[in-house]
Amino acid sequence: MKNLLSVTVIISQTNYRYDTISVVAMLLESGATSIMQDESKHNIRFLLPIDKPLSEIEAALGRLHVETISIEIDNSAPVDESNDYDFIAIGSGSASFAAAIRAREAGLSVAIIEKDVVGGTCVNVGCIPSKALLRASEQIQEKRLSSNGAFRVQFEINQMIKNKDELVNSLRRSKYLDLAKDYGFDIIYGHASFVAKDKIEVGDRVLGAKYFLIATGASPYIPPIPGLFSTSYLTSTTALNTKSIPNRLCIVGAGSIGLELGQLFMNLGSQVTFIEAGEQIAPQEEAEISAILKDTLISQGATIYTSAQITRVNAKGSSRSIELTSQMDKVTIAFDKILIATTRKPNTNRLGLEKAGVEVTKDGAIVVNHLLQTTNPQIYSAGDVIGGPQFVYVAAYEGALAVDNCVLASNRSLDLTALPRVTFTNPPISGVGLRESEAKILGLDTITTILPLDQIPRSLVNGQTHGAIKLVADKSTRKLLGANIISEGAGDVIQAASLAIKYNISIDDLASSFHPYLTMAESLKLACQSFTKDVTKLSCCAS
Which domains are present in the chain? 4-73 (3.30.70.100), 85-123+162-219+345-406 (3.50.50.60), 228-341 (3.50.50.60), 421-537 (3.30.390.30)
Please state the pTM of the whole predicted model.
0.86
Mean pLDDT over 314-341 rounds to 94
Phi and psi, residue 494, nearest 5°: -65, -20
Mean pLDDT over 323-344 rounds to 95
Q: Per residue in 396-430, pLDDT tens?
A: 999 999 999 998 888 999 999 999 999 999 999 99
Secondary structure E strands in 172-328: 186-189, 192-196, 199-202, 205-214, 218-220, 234-235, 248-252, 271-275, 303-305, 308-316, 319-326
Q: Is the pLDDT of residue 314 over 90?
A: yes
Annotated binding site for NAD(+): 253-260, 276
Residues 6+ apart with CB under 8 A from 353: 194, 359, 360, 366
Dist CA 353 CA 214 (whole Å)? 10
At 110, the pLDDT band (50, 70, 90 cuts) reads very high
Annotated binding site for FAD: 131, 384
Annotated binding site: 131, 253-260, 276, 384
Q: Is the pLDDT of residue 369 over 80?
A: yes
Q: Which of 145-149, 175-179, 532-536 has the lowest mean pLDDT?
A: 145-149
Dist CA 448 CA 528 (whole Å)? 10
pLDDT score recorded for residue 21: 66
Query: Phi/psi zone of residue 303: left (φ > 0), alpha (ψ -120 to 50 degrees), beta?
Result: beta
pLDDT score recorded for residue 509: 97
